[in-house]
Amino acid sequence: MPALSTSLTTETESHPLDLMEQVMGLYEWEFERLGQSEMAAQAPGQWCDYSLYFTWSDELSALHLNCTLDLRSPTARRSDVHELVSLANNKLWVGHFIIDPETGVPSFRHTLLMRGVSTPPGESMEDLIDIAMSECERFYPAFQFTLWGGKSPQDALDAAMLDCVGDA
């Protein structure tokens, strides 16, 4: 990912989504500003393309990110996927996974609180995206193993969290 902190131009009192537009431009990702407080983007990943949805709350002075994985949970597998989400969330320091109750689609969510900050630093924007993408990439195989590989949530998580050493 590009080094954002030195490449972004910030003005005093810039809207956080204006800065996020600059970030999307540096990554060369497609994005669309849906309104003053909403933006959507597509980000390529190793396992799938991720849908990023940013929302700004003036009331909370917070930037919320929802990063959706391109997976659907069949109704029959949802209890296992919910168990996997619970196990995965125990391994996270920042953010959390959810399952949309209607569609069964997993998402990673995180909110960046910015009360008292007129313009968030580029590093914070970079971290917000980097953490979301890293966690989605890290846990995507566990979702696949649970949904389509017939593994239990714990086995799927153990297999996905296995750190490989060396080259094959």
pTM: 0.85
3-class SS at 162?
coil
Task: Identify the CATH class of 16-74+94-139.
Answer: alpha beta
Least confident of 66-80, 92-106, 116-130, 133-147: 116-130
Confidence grade of residue 119 (pLDDT, cut at 50, 70, 90):
low
Residues in the chain: 168
Could you tell me the two tokens for 126? 């970079």
Q: How far is CA 102 from CA 37, 74, 85, 86, 93, in A?
A: 24, 11, 16, 18, 27
164 exposed, middle or buried (CB, 10 Å; 0-12, 13-18, 19+)? exposed
Single-letter residue type at 19: L
* Residue 131, number of CB atoms within 10 A of its CB: 19
> What do you get for the CA distance between the two ends of the chain, in Å?
26
For residue 123, is pLDDT > 50?
yes
Beta bridge partners, 97, equal 108
Neighbours of 167 (CB within 10 A): 4
Secondary structure, 3-state, 10-69: CCCCCCHHHHHHHHHHHHCCCEEEEECCEEEEEEECCCCEEEEEEEEECCCCEEEEEEEC
pLDDT score, position 25:
86
More confident residue, 13 or 134: 134
pLDDT band at 167 (very low <50, low <70, confident <90, very high): low
pLDDT at site 4: 47
Burial of 128 (0-12, 13-18, 19+ CB in 10 A): buried
Q: How confident is the model at residue 166 (pLDDT cuts 50, 70, 90)?
A: low
